[in-house]
Amino acid sequence: MSGTLRFFSQRRSLRRLSFYFALSALLCLALADIEISAPDPGRELRLMLAGLFSPRIADLTQWLDATLTTVAFALQGVTLAAALGLVLSAFYQRPWARRLAAGLRSVHEVFWALIFIQVFGFTALTGVLAITLPFCGTIAKVFGEQLEEIDQRPASAVSPGRGGISHFCYTRLPLALHAMRNYTAYRMECAIRSSVVLGFIGLPTIGFHLETALRTGEYSAASALLLTVLALVYSLRFWFRTRWLLVLVPTAFIARPVAAEWHGANLMRFLWECVPAPLRQDWPLEKTQRWLGWLGEQVLAGTWNTVLLAQVALVLTALFALLASPLNSSHFVSGWARRAGDGVLLVLRSLPEYLLNFIFLIVLGPSMLPAALAMTLHNGAIIGHLLGRHSDEMPAPPVPAGPLGRFAYFYVPTLYQRFLAYCFYRWEIIIRETAVLGVLGIPTLGFYIDSAFQFMRFDVAILLIGVNAALILAADWLSRRLRRQFLLAPPLARPALQVESAAYRRPLPGA
């Protein structure tokens, strides 16, 4: 009896939760600037499509070099991040390890790169570090959770003694290793996307030439680069394997050393300039007031726009995910139709939001609309793909019905909890990306951070990056609370593990 009651009250609260989210998104939508400001979007879109179907590599050596750099940054970054993340995950019960990991991942790759560029210039060291640090934070978190989920009996059966390391390696690591490998493969896919995005701010990856090609309207060249990115992401499943990595990783580090020419004096100067200006100048009262007022304005405007846009993007993502997930569900499509449907989702998933936003900005003109669309398509495709996959495990509906009825009365209700769990989980990521898209001109926090770097006000840049990190950590905390409160089933409280590992689930050896 009480079980039934709880079921009903939970369902009602889920409905209320969804309602509030949708309502807030509607309010945000009313306040957001979502105008199509380009007078003739169709024309640009036709030119792009024509280019897409006539890919052309303009300069072969340049293309090869950019592709190798993209892969090298990603491979080196993920290798270092996985190594450091593994070390950190072993201490994940300790609060300092959790805080360190959260801090590292709350700053986006692009912002890390903007910081490192100041010290190390446009070098391999900047690119690899910018990927390593945030990825290390994410990997430490997921590895840590994977270590918590394994069977704890072997670890408690053997006394740790003095050999803490061998205790860890023999009793805990082997049980989590398979899941860790799958997750690392997924991170490699993300690293390739990040590596491409770093090109947009000046590092010599594919993104560098892609930005040029898109900006100057050379869509055939852009198409070739875009297809290269897709090919890199898809080919991962063939070459990102232990046997190959034993050779590829050393090769990458030897052929493309992670180095930079830098000077201590430069570093010291940069660090000094990161100290807030009033502190550097002994708090002159009037100037400090003006500075604080000006900083406060940027923080308020940036945060407001970031939250506004992220909220719109979150709910649009959710809608798109629900509507698109049947494309990959055995309840609705099968055979070739399903493969094609999932193919569309995979293409959308493989292109970074930053790149999609750049393309939509060209087509639709400047406003928040391109960013909202970019995030909806990318994140919605990820969630849609996973939901569809989960639906395979559901039994056939008890009452036969048409596709629309099945969708509304069986498919959505059955998957709803899982769906919400995924959406909450992507919330933090959507805020991270929303902030970064400001670099492309929408007045979110990234816009002000980019401006601060532009005028070499590193103190302001660092403070704004800090505000952004705090915003992301707050969203993370809130989403964890909501998940715990509304989604009671234990596997749903931690969707991160499933979201990301499911993409690369391989059968256990011998299973």
Partner 1 sequence: MRYLFALLAMLVSLGSIAADNQRPQFTFTAIPDQNEAELVRRFQQVADYLSAELDVDVNYMPVKSYPAAITAFRNNQVQLAWFGGLSGVQARRAVPGSEAIAQGYEDQFFKTYFIAHASAGLQPAEALTDTLRGKTFTFGSKGSTSGRLMPEFHLREAFGKAPGEIFSRVGFSGDHSRTIALVQSGAYQVGAVNYAVWEKAVDNGEVNPDQVSVIWTTPPYADYQWTVRGDIDRQLGAGFKQRLTRALLQLENDSILQAFPRSRFVPADNSVYRAIEETATAIGLLDEF
Name the site residues for partner 1 (rule: CB under 8 A): 33, 37-40, 117-122, 200-202, 208, 211-212, 215-216, 243-244, 247, 250-251, 254-255, 257, 261-263, 266, 277-278, 280-281, 287-288, 290-291, 294, 365-366, 441, 450-451, 453-457
For residue 141, what are the contacts with CB-CB under 8 A and spacing of at least 6?
89, 92, 98, 101, 102, 105, 496
Query: Please, what is the minimum distance in Å from the beta carbon of residue 312 to partner 1?
Result: 18
Minimum gap (Å) between residue 510 Cβ and partner 1: 23
User: Whole-number minimum distance, CB 50 to partner 1, in Å?
Assistant: 18
CB atoms closer than 10 angstroms to residue 498: 18
Are 450 and 305 spatial neighbours (Cβ–Cβ below 8 Å)?
no
Q: Which residue number, 208 or 332, has a Cβ lying nearer to partner 1?
A: 208
Beta carbon of residue 140, minimum distance to partner 1 (angstroms, whole number): 30
Nearest-angstrom CA–CA distance, 56 and 45: 18
For partner 1, the closer CB: 311 or 367: 367
In whole angstroms, give the CA distance from residue 337 to residue 318.
23
For partner 1, the closer of residues 308 and 475 by Cβ is: 308
**CB within 8 Å of 373: residues ≥ 6 apart:** 316, 356, 357, 360, 364
Distance CA 48, CA 217 (A): 8
Q: Which is closer to partner 1, CB of 23 or CB of 36?
A: 36
Computed over its alpha carbons, how large is the radius of gyration of the chain? 24
3-state secondary structure of 11: helix
The answer to whether residues 328 and 385 touch, using CB atoms and an 8 Å cutoff, is yes
Q: Helices marked H in 365-457 — which ranges?
A: 369-391, 403-406, 412-437, 445-454
Shortest reach from residue 53's CB to partner 1, in Å? 23
Minimum distance of partner 1 from residue 97's CB (angstroms): 34
Specify the residue, 50 or 408, whose C-beta has the smaller distance to partner 1.
50
**In the structure encoding, which two tokens stand for residue 192, read together?**
């390739």
Which residue's CB is nearer to partner 1, number 58 or number 175?
58
**CA angle, residues 135, 476, 296, in degrees to nearest 5:** 95
Q: Considering beta carbons, is residue 101 or 117 the nearer one to partner 1?
A: 117
- Residue 503 and residue 306: Cα distance in Å, rounded? 29
**Whole-number minimum distance, CB 305 to partner 1, in Å?**
13
CA–CA gap between residue 60 and residue 231 (Å, rounded): 17
Compute CA 275 distance to the chain's CA centroid, rounded to the nearest angstrom: 30
The residue (of 86 and 461) whose beta carbon lies closer to partner 1 is 461
Rounded least distance, CB 38 to partner 1, Å: 5
Q: Which residue, among 407, 119, 368, has the nearest Cα to 265 in the 3D structure?
A: 119
**Closer residue to partner 1 (CB): 162 or 243:** 243
Q: How far is the CB of 412 from partner 1 (least distance, A)?
A: 39
- Phi and psi (nearest 5°) for 38? -75, 135
From the CB of 60, what's the least distance to partner 1, in Å?
A: 17
The total of other beta-carbon atoms located within 10 Å of residue 202's CB is 16
Q: Which is nearer to partner 1, 142 or 221 (CB)?
A: 221
